[in-house]
A and B are shown apart, each in its own frame.
Chain A
Amino acid sequence: MSARFAASDQVAIAGYAQSPVQRHADKPLGAVALDTALAAIADAGLDVAQVDGFTTGALFPTAGAHTIEDGVSIVTANWMAEHLGVNPRWASGFQGFGQIPGTVELAVNAVASGAADYVLMHRALHNPPGRYHGNPMREARGSAQWMAPQGYFGPLAMIALPYNEYLQRYGASRDEMAAVAVEARKNGARIPWSFWHDKPLTADDYLAARVIADPICMYDCDIPVDGVAAFVFTSAERARDLPNHPVLVSGFGMGTPTVRRIPQHWPLDDIMDTAYETTRRLWEHSGLRPDDVDLPQVYDGFSPFVWFWLEALGFCPVGEAHAFVAGGGIDSDAPKALPALSGGGALGNGRMHGVPQMLECYLQLSGRAGDRQREGVEVGVACHSSPHYGGAVAYRRA
């Protein structure tokens, strides 16, 4: 990709909708997704017939043996178009891991290239009945043969290894991680649609929680939910004539490691080496610098990602994020701190897989955050997934 994004600030988010985030919705996921899509289209001041492009990242992030069924446990772009009664000019899904940046990029590129004029992007997350990651497998075939026979299985062990590697290398502690979970839940408690609305967490609650894959405890993990968010993208020019203040997409940083590993083996250096290249690309692509960012939103599907992203973005030196956060460095109520989880993140909303970071950037930059609105917010960066598989998107208030 060329260093500077040719379509920087030329495509805008014109509207959005977010469903309630619930443990189990009272409608099938596809029905919730349709309701949310229709609300987003109306919010943007459009009719369904004007929407000619559709995109999503449909990944169902479970290690369990759950059935993948379109409209039930996932919702693809084509399912969405069909059930809205639209024959789309363009429909495409992002297939990689760390869905939001890749999906936003598809939406932006479709608008910038003229493949579609109004693109609906959605993300639908499902919490199936039964254990989310439990798997009854008795025979380990294919990639599973390198993990399951020795009991290395699922995302908790996956994140526990680089987390402990960080703790040991930099002399950090679980006690310091309490500040991450408490900050996420404090902000999530203020958000009406959040699963954790009005339910903040104390450091004592955090430290007393069940440890699952030491040093990972229950509150280091986002809770599985049913929930859908949708956003409408169009050109910055067309967005000026629509009801909401547009938020422009300035650029992306993404990447994936090339080291051969056992599946889901994420050594700390693999994460951070790729992370630094991803953020370097972000600054180059967007034309922004870390100092320009009023509103960083770091990914927190597992709490250690908060430390990793803060270091990758250059907001604190290598190996110091644990002390930075424990010292109040991301307190959204402190005037000089970085409001890095002001949107509540995944820990404060539920497993929306990167949506809260994007949504908070949109709401704050468009001036639509209501009681939570922050002053003078012009540039936001939303980070998604692990820094070595997801990426970051830079947004600017039009």
Chain B
Amino acid sequence: MSERPVPVPDDRSRGYWDAAADHVLAIARCSRCGTFAMPPDIVCSHCHSTDPDFTFVPVTGGGIVRSWTVMHQSFLPGFDDLLPFVLVDVELDEQADLRTIGRLLDGPDAPLALGARVVVAFEDLADGVAVPAFTLERDPA
């Protein structure tokens, strides 16, 4: 079992982690205005509803790279064997500027550029615990 920190779901995040365990990326969406929020908040940051009743909606998992960094040192347990690893800042296809951050599993020499297309992948940390990550999308041709 990985020594990496495992997420501890709470009332506002359980839908995200339950979906991830099934290798599905599901993003919180405000039931009042339909705006996605990553991560979910107490109130909707778009329509400011104090009763947003966020629901976790499966998304395609596709997006574009807005930035990246190659980590050569980790400040957490469980990552040293993975160094160097890439983190990508991804804008998901579902909504303008809907961004998340995950590991890019293609390795530190992956050919990255702004706007490169990625698709979600998952890392299984433990039984029933998976963390969303990304891989470069293969050329459809």
Contact = CB atoms under 8 A, between A and B. Distances in A.
Interface residues of B, number: 46
Given A150-B132, A161-B89, A262-B100, A140 B7 contact: yes
Contact of A162 (B38, B67, B74): B67
A67 interface: no
A153 B72 CA distance: 13
B10 A142 contact: yes
A150 B37 contact: no
A164 B67 contact: yes
Interface in B74-116: 74-77, 79, 82, 84-85, 87, 89, 97, 99-103, 113-114
Contact of A261 (B73, B99, B103, B131): B99
Contacts of A376: none
B6 interface: yes
A242 interface: no
B69 A138 contact: no
A149 B45 contact: no
A138 B102 CA distance: 18
B90 to A, nearest CB: 11
Interface string A234-269: 000000000000000000000000111110010110
B133 A213 contact: no
Interface in A193-227: 210-216
A152 B8 contact: no
Interface stretch (A128-136, A177-185, A316-324, A388-396): A128-136
Tell which of A131, A147, A161 has the most Cβ of chain B within 10 Å: A161
B10 A141 contact: yes
Nearest to B74: A151
A165 B71 CA distance: 15
Contacts of B79: 151
Given A213-B69, A213-B72, 5 more contacts: A64-B75, A139-B8, A141-B8, A151-B79, A210-B72
